Structure 1
Amino acid sequence: MDLHFSGATATDVEREAVDTMLAAVPPDPDAPRHRRDLLLPALHAVHERMGWISPGALEHICRTLEIPPASAYGVATFYSMFSMKPRPARVVQICTDLACKAAGADRITASAEETLGESGQESGDVQWQRSPCLGVCERAPAALVFEAGEPAREQILAPTSAPAVLRAARQGPDPSPDPTVSETPVADSVPQHGDPGLRLLRRIGTTDPESLEAYRASGGYTALRRALSIGQSATIREVLNSGLMGRGGAAFPTGRKWQATAAQPDAPHYLVCNADESEPGTFKDRLLLEGDPYAVVESMTIAGFACGCRRGYLYLRGEYPRALRRIEHALSEARRRGFLGKDVMGRPGFDFDIEIRRGAGAYICGEETAIFNSIEGFRGEPRSKPPFPVEKGLFGKPTVVNNVETLANIPVILQDGGAAFTRTGTAASTGSKLFCLSGTVRRPGVYEVPFGATLRELLALAGGVPEGRTLRAVLLGGAAGNFVRADELDLPLTMEGAREADATLGSGVVLVLDDSVDLMGIVLRIAAFFRDESCGQCVPCRVGTVRQEEALQRLARGRSSTDVALLREIGRAMRDSSICGLGQTAWNAVESALDRLGLVTELTDLTEFTGTTGTTGTTATTAITEAPAPNGGTA
């Protein structure tokens, strides 16, 4: 498709899907004249109605929003959820990422392949696909069933099995009137629910997440009322005094970010809540959105007030159907009761509203500047810094970006005071932290512990590994994190403790791996994940992630004695030269598997993952010395 319109014609149904969505968009005086920022919602509208985006539908979107077709095509093909070719209305995505792989997802995909054909191949009125993490790791293995139509229906199957997936492939999602029905209550994913010591998770399992009155009865909106009474500067001062740091992995002081945004003379200011929780093994933000959605809305409203924003955007993972329904309901109720909109809570001049933007299956859109491009209707590629978001962010205006967990701390700080917040945790890492435990652990789920607790104490809360098994390793921080050995469990779970141990807490992933898990299979999956999720914008990441996986595959087959050195060279290049955190961290887990776990010295035959044959029990170091490297060992 070139820069010219193709002449393709949309069907009446496609036109209706787009036009209905656009008609529902509220007016925004700060929006640009040409609403390119509505491209992603328009693509979602067609995808949900038709199951794919035809040339005619894309043409109609482009003419309506005045976007060059070639540019819109580049955006549509950027996201894995969208198909530009005809496909069945029903699609089953089977997660093959870390926690699901450890829980036996390969058996499910093998059954699907035998019954329905290859991944991505049409089989009657259904298609199945291998999928990256679906964010329900505590109930692994998982699958997502989607069926286009009016309305579109989605259902998470977790934990699931081969028979359950094949049944869903034949029958579609549960035909309940609630299209996002889930058999599993949110509280089941919080083993601590009901514990009086919880702060961030205290309402989950005890308060109806869909009732605004229940939220207010449990203390909801007292924090916003206090913020409005003490003013913007004092609200920011409380956050500064709390020592709150971002919970998304970068750990930047939240109060400083707010202060810098509020001080910018350019207007308008924007707030973005990053709910694109795509790090494999992470699901804490999903639970907050599903189990305490009004707290997220209140937190965003406080942040908007403090930073001088009139509009906030909640950028939500496209694979979170129940979270979408819950947050949409919370926003509607908050507007109806005066907690959003004009003169919020009766405060003259404080107008603030929140708009949801759904992602569409791109891990890179968790990077803050990639979110800006995605919301604005461009490919979700990171921007170079500086300028930084607080100076020139969304739509080129000052923007504050916080993730869901970071914002969930704000009502606690405003209710108790910043000084009281510092009494939990350590001097450098204040407050509590949510950790996502999954893998081979007895009680997986989200746990809230004060900073300073040890990894050993956290695993004990979750019951440890199953009886008769031995802990092999823990992946801390997700695919972008580091492996930790079984003899390193006294690691203090703090920002400073992780740094001293040459590890990272990242987004709070704690993937537990016992001796039944094939470690090399996990490392190969991490490498494949980064290969697939690289946006391709910069050479170090685009080429490095591919070469990293190729070198690991050769090591697994015992075919090249030079690949460990090559991996280190690739890793350094990605870490030093990539534009954003994806490329800069793509080598972390591989490096720690080599250095911390001695991966190369204990590699055995990996037929299950590579499709090659070898001698079971032969170590990779032996195989390397005996097998010549292909093409002289070059990648």
Structure 2
Amino acid sequence: MKRETADDMRGNSMSNDASAFIKEYCAKTGRDPARLLDVAREVQARFGCVSPQSITAISREMKLPRADVEGVVTFYAFLSTAPKGRYVIRLCNDVVDMMKGARDVGETFSRELGIKFGRTTADGLFSLEWTPCIGMSDQAPAALINETVFTHLDGDKARRIVGELRRGSTLEGMVDTFGDGNNAHPLVRSMVMNNIRMRGPVIFSDFQPGSALKKALSLSPAEVIRDIKTSRLRGRGGAGFPTGMKWDFTRQAEGAEKYVLCNADEGEPGTFKDRVILTECPHLFLEGMTIAGYAIGARKGIIYLRGEYAYLRAFLEKTIQDRRDSGLLGRGICGKADFEFDIRVQMGAGAYVCGEETSLISSCEGSRGDPKNRPPFPAQKGFLGRPTVVNNVETFACAARILDQGPGWFANMGSNGSPGTKLLSVSGDCRRPGVYEVPFG
């Protein structure tokens, strides 16, 4: 595919390839306005930018106001109206990465490329940018190059990366040592390490896919919510709202169509525990989402996966398909003819604010990730204006384990006010950075 050039940007023309691709991809999405971010991401990936001419074409094909399309493209950090290099180096500049030497690594990249941060090389091969936390603080300094993660960087590695890419090496070929667990999976093939330092009984113990779901389906939806309430599970995303209460509010809300949204956009600096669940325990949190769907009467679920974790997308989508093939998603789940639930992955595009639930919902709808005033709460009016449960990855994983092992088992761990276990992301000035599962409270 032809990448947009500066001349294309200044003129009124657009390559035939870009025009044809936009028309084809918009048709593939059914011209659904909620898929606008997907369209913009694909155009960016294919052509190096979403040029003004591409914005006009998307607007025409999606039958959306041009201002809405431009608003989305200019909101997300991973989208650009100006051409980017073939390789976009995004070096993390959060506090841990800086402490571990990111500034020196950045100076090396800048010197080797002959450009300052925020610029693109004259040959169009490289763009160099700083980016906020990419969820790799336990293996800093780290960078994203397109969708490939490079960890434990130093000056020598930076020079080698630039040299090999100039000589025609591929990003995939440059990752010759894989991390542990599913980081070495054929659909992941990443150098990222899990760094699980302490395993506990809730998240990091063995799990048989379908075991929790079958127990949930032997109960009524009201009984499932009762068990979540009895466990006293609180949301693991920060606010600590009682999960059973949130599910109950959503179930009781008016509306025939309801949704389950999984917040996999952990953007807080130094946070990476959900990344490890996504990698090593995908069935656990997917099962939790499915149980939530049964409990509230939803048929559709969405995983909002942060753009920084795009390297996990194919693996997660394969896991979702495996669950469909095993009768754990789709129609007639586990032989229950009247229960239908499916899940899709919605990619983010580099917006920290989308970790907030109303911003996340806006982004899933194909809009700018602008937060909304509450009330109404998502349980009343969420995705597409319908009642919606929004929980994070860890919360859904806990919910599945509760249905598998029982609410009393979960409630007997941790403290009276905060039962269960909690994952901690530990990094910075420490000997053993990584993820620790500890009793909560």
Fold shared by both chains (TM-score > 0.5):
yes
Deviation sequence 1:389-423 (CA, Å, 0-9, x none):
11111111111100001111012101121122111
* Alpha carbons of structure 1 residues 163 and 24: separation in structure 2 relative to 1, 3 Å: farther
Instruction: Pick from 108, 111, 135 the counterpart of residue 111 of structure 1.
Output: 108
Distance 2:11 2:301 in 1: 37
- Aligned match of 1:260: 249
2:415 is equivalent to residue 426 of structure 1? yes
The CA deviation at 1:238 is 0.4
Equivalent position SS for 2:39: helix
Q: Does the 8 Å contact 2:96/2:428 carry over to 1?
A: yes
Q: CA RMSD in A?
A: 2.0
Equivalent position SS for 1:309: coil
- Aligned match of 1:201: 204
Give the partner amino acid of 2:412: R
Deviation sequence 1:79-127 (CA, Å, 0-9, x none):
0011110121111111110211121111111222233221011123111
Distance 1:59 1:337 in 2: 43
Q: Does the 8 Å contact 2:149/2:192 carry over to 1?
A: no
Distance 1:333 1:448 in 2: 27
Equivalent position SS for 1:175: helix
Instruction: Pick from 12, 15, 36 the counterpart of residue 11 of structure 1.
Output: 15
Give the partner amino acid of 1:202: S
- Aligned match of 1:396: 385
- Aligned match of 2:119: 121
Following superposition of structure 1 onto structure 2, how do residues 389-468 of structure 1 map, counting pairs within 5 Å?
Answer: 389-451=378-440
Give the partner amino acid of 2:196: V
- Structure 1 unaligned residues grouped into runs of 5+: 1-5, 28-33, 147-153, 204-217, 452-493, 495-635
2:186 is equivalent to residue 183 of structure 1? no
The CA deviation at 1:181 is 2.4
- Aligned match of 1:167: 160
Distance 2:65 2:127 in 1: 31
Distance 2:391 2:37 in 1: 21
Structure showing greater radius of gyration is 1
Following superposition of structure 1 onto structure 2, how do residues 146-295 of structure 1 map, counting pairs within 5 Å?
Answer: 146=146, 154-170=147-163, 171=165, 173-175=171-173, 180-186=188-194, 189-192=195-198, 195=199, 197-203=200-206, 218-295=207-284
Distance 2:239 2:39 in 1: 32
- Aligned match of 1:497: none
Percent identity, aligned pairs only, is 38
The CA deviation at 1:184 is 4.1
- Aligned match of 1:587: none
Q: Does the 8 Å contact 1:438/1:445 carry over to 2?
A: yes
Equivalent position SS for 1:93: strand
Give the partner amino acid of 2:372: R
* Alpha carbons of structure 1 residues 234 and 176: separation in structure 2 relative to 1, 3 Å: farther
* Alpha carbons of structure 1 residues 307 and 106: separation in structure 2 relative to 1, 3 Å: same
Give the partner amino acid of 1:414: L
The CA deviation at 1:294 is 1.7
The CA deviation at 1:18 is 3.7
The CA deviation at 1:67 is 0.8
The CA deviation at 1:344 is 1.6
- Aligned match of 1:133: 133
Following superposition of structure 1 onto structure 2, how do residues 302-321 of structure 1 map, counting pairs within 5 Å?
Answer: 302-321=291-310
The CA deviation at 1:128 is 1.0
- Aligned match of 2:178: none
Give the partner amino acid of 1:65: M
Q: Does the 8 Å contact 1:155/1:179 carry over to 2?
A: no
Distance 1:70 1:308 in 2: 36
Give the partner amino acid of 2:431: R
- Aligned match of 1:355: 344
The CA deviation at 1:348 is 1.2
Q: Does the 8 Å contact 1:17/1:45 carry over to 2?
A: no
The CA deviation at 1:298 is 1.1
Following superposition of structure 1 onto structure 2, how do residues 581-620 of structure 1 map, counting pairs within 5 Å?
Answer: none
Once structures 1 and 2 are overlaid, which stretch shifts more, 249-258 or 92-101? 92-101
* Alpha carbons of structure 1 residues 248 and 339: separation in structure 2 relative to 1, 3 Å: same
* Alpha carbons of structure 1 residues 91 and 180: separation in structure 2 relative to 1, 3 Å: farther
* Alpha carbons of structure 1 residues 10 and 229: separation in structure 2 relative to 1, 3 Å: farther
Deviation sequence 1:493-537 (CA, Å, 0-9, x none):
x3xxxxxxxxxxxxxxxxxxxxxxxxxxxxxxxxxxxxxxxxxxx
The CA deviation at 1:20 is 5.1
- Aligned match of 1:381: 370
Q: Does the 8 Å contact 1:9/1:60 carry over to 2?
A: no
Distance 2:355 2:399 in 1: 21
Give the partner amino acid of 1:434: L
Once structures 1 and 2 are overlaid, which stretch shifts more, 73-82 or 294-303? 294-303
Equivalent position SS for 2:129: strand
Distance 1:400 1:7 in 2: 46
Equivalent position SS for 1:167: helix
Q: Does the 8 Å contact 1:436/1:446 carry over to 2?
A: yes
Give the partner amino acid of 2:126: V
Q: How many pairs does the alignment contain?
A: 414
The CA deviation at 1:321 is 2.7
* Alpha carbons of structure 1 residues 185 and 281: separation in structure 2 relative to 1, 3 Å: closer
* Alpha carbons of structure 1 residues 336 and 23: separation in structure 2 relative to 1, 3 Å: farther
Following superposition of structure 1 onto structure 2, how do residues 437-586 of structure 1 map, counting pairs within 5 Å?
Answer: 437-451=426-440, 494=441
Q: Does the 8 Å contact 1:311/1:353 carry over to 2?
A: yes
Deviation sequence 1:142-169 (CA, Å, 0-9, x none):
01111xxxxxxx3111111122223323
Deviation sequence 1:338-378 (CA, Å, 0-9, x none):
22112222211211111211111111111111111111122
Equivalent position SS for 2:379: coil
Instruction: Pick from 37, 47, 58 the counterpart of residue 50 of structure 1.
Output: 47
* Alpha carbons of structure 1 residues 60 and 179: separation in structure 2 relative to 1, 3 Å: farther
Distance 2:158 2:205 in 1: 34
Distance 2:127 2:135 in 1: 21
2:74 is equivalent to residue 77 of structure 1? yes
Q: Does the 8 Å contact 1:190/1:447 carry over to 2?
A: yes
Give the partner amino acid of 1:161: D
Give the partner amino acid of 1:159: H
Give the partner amino acid of 2:160: R
Distance 1:179 1:266 in 2: 38
Give the partner amino acid of 2:141: P
Following superposition of structure 1 onto structure 2, how do residues 20-99 of structure 1 map, counting pairs within 5 Å?
Answer: 21-22=25-26, 24-25=28-29, 35-99=32-96
Following superposition of structure 1 onto structure 2, how do residues 296-335 of structure 1 map, counting pairs within 5 Å?
Answer: 296-335=285-324
Give the partner amino acid of 2:44: H
